[in-house]
Chain A
């Protein structure tokens, strides 16, 4: 279907462990889906499968009417519109500025635009004061902000964020949530967030999925009761 990301009946097994058992979800353009669940419930594996970094044992992903296969052409095409920020985001051994600027250049942005977008993102996320600092010397929270800024700078159509505010202080967590919510609705992107924060899920989500032991236990759409969600976690 056009304007929709569908994940259909995904199964994934690692050795003897069934990590995902028949997981399905649907997300419309401009919607935010939050996935919650206890540790080891398969949330990160599901994100990695959607990012085409892992191949499911069965099931498929459909993006805007096309089935995503694991051919190199399809992977390259999908990754050019996708931004995946893992829980411990990788930081390149360059300056903070070059951690945004060089990936933009690598992704095909011309130098003028890449420079402009890099500074915009650094300013938005309050990282401009560290622009010329070695990125490896940033704190964990600052690294997370940098990874988010870099992902957003790439202007993705699909964003997958694994606990995007886990290492941020309260002020920055609120700033990131506000920015993401506004960004998704303004740019009409697909955003899937893995989170352990019910408050974050409540604020951000149009849909909420509860995943326990690789099985979808509940799927809320258009609001949910916090106490109802907490009984699963």
Chain B
């Protein structure tokens, strides 16, 4: 395997995972705060469902998306099957419940007096959102970290909706599957080490921010 291909696979992995987690963070934190601070009839059921979806088997999600994006499926007209965009969508759907669920936990674990104060003073919803994100930032960062871990290491959904097409939709995890089944263990191990290195680098940088926050606000 050539170096240029390794670089291309690594960059695509990063692009897919970071795009998916970026989207799930924006939407998931918003929904998590909304659910955590609302009182409605089926809230408990919804939270249970979100917690259940946190453990969605990637192959099952991949299958559902495959059927949806296939030419005869309801979203077939979008022409997304076997594209990096379909892979981003699959990872977004996998990581969204993680961000929502962990954001709900982060908000709910804030002191009651603090939540009451924020809610009583915030006539403007934007400020309420800013206050809550600021107070729960360490928990929210942990949710992003967990989502990123899930996205980077996920293989089941991206291999089904991406198709593992060389130079187009092949990412680190699907490439490892391919080279292992082809008996090229050296390439598979190299890609595995790169995967670990990337995940380690992301973790170190996020943990650095987290540590800075803990030291600053403890």
Contact = CB atoms under 8 A, between A and B. Distances in A.
Interface of A: 51, 53, 76, 79-80, 82, 84, 86, 88-90, 92-94, 102-103, 105-108, 134, 136, 154
* Residue with the highest number of chain A CB atoms closer than 10 Å, among B120, B123, B137, B217: B120
B122 A136 contact: no
A45 B205 CA distance: 45
Interface in B111-132: 111, 113-114, 116-118, 120-124, 127-128, 130-131
Question: Chain B interface: which size bin?
Answer: 20 to 34
Interface in B86-116: 111, 113-114, 116
A92 B128 contact: no
A80 B116 CA distance: 13
24 contacts: A76-B123, A79-B120, A80-B123, A82-B120, A86-B113, A90-B111, A90-B113, A90-B114, A92-B114, A92-B135, A94-B134, A103-B121, A103-B122, A103-B127, A106-B121, A106-B124, A106-B127, A107-B121, A107-B122, A108-B123, A134-B216, A136-B217, A136-B218, A154-B121
Contacts of B216: 134
Nearest to B134: A93
Contacts of A88: 113
A89 B113 contact: yes
Looking at chain B's contact residues, is the secondary structure mostly helix, strand, loop, or mixed? helix
Interface of B: 111, 113-114, 116-118, 120-124, 127-128, 130-131, 134-135, 137, 216-218
Nearest to A48: B116
Given A80-B123, A90-B113, A90-B117, A106 B217 contact: no
In the A-B complex, the 6 residue pairs with the smallest Cβ-Cβ separation, listed nearest first, are: A106-B127, A90-B114, A103-B121, A90-B113, A106-B122, A90-B117
Nearest to B115: A90
B114 A102 contact: no
Contacts of A107: 121-124
A94 B117 CA distance: 15
Contacts of A82: 120
Contacts of B127: 102-103, 105-106
Nearest to B122: A106
Nearest to B116: A53
Contacts of A89: 113, 117
Nearest to B216: A134
B111 A93 contact: no
A122 B128 CA distance: 23
B113 A102 contact: no
Contact of A106 (B113, B131, B135, B218): B131
* Residue with the highest number of chain B CB atoms closer than 10 Å, among A53, A94, A103, A106: A106
A103 B131 CA distance: 9
A201 B116 CA distance: 27
B117 A106 contact: no
A109 B83 CA distance: 50
Given A106-B123, A134-B216, 11 more contacts: A84-B120, A86-B113, A88-B113, A90-B111, A90-B116, A93-B135, A93-B217, A94-B134, A106-B128, A106-B131, A134-B217
Given A134-B216, A136-B218, A92 B123 contact: no
A108 B124 contact: yes
A97 to B, nearest CB: 15
A92 B131 contact: yes
A134 B117 CA distance: 19
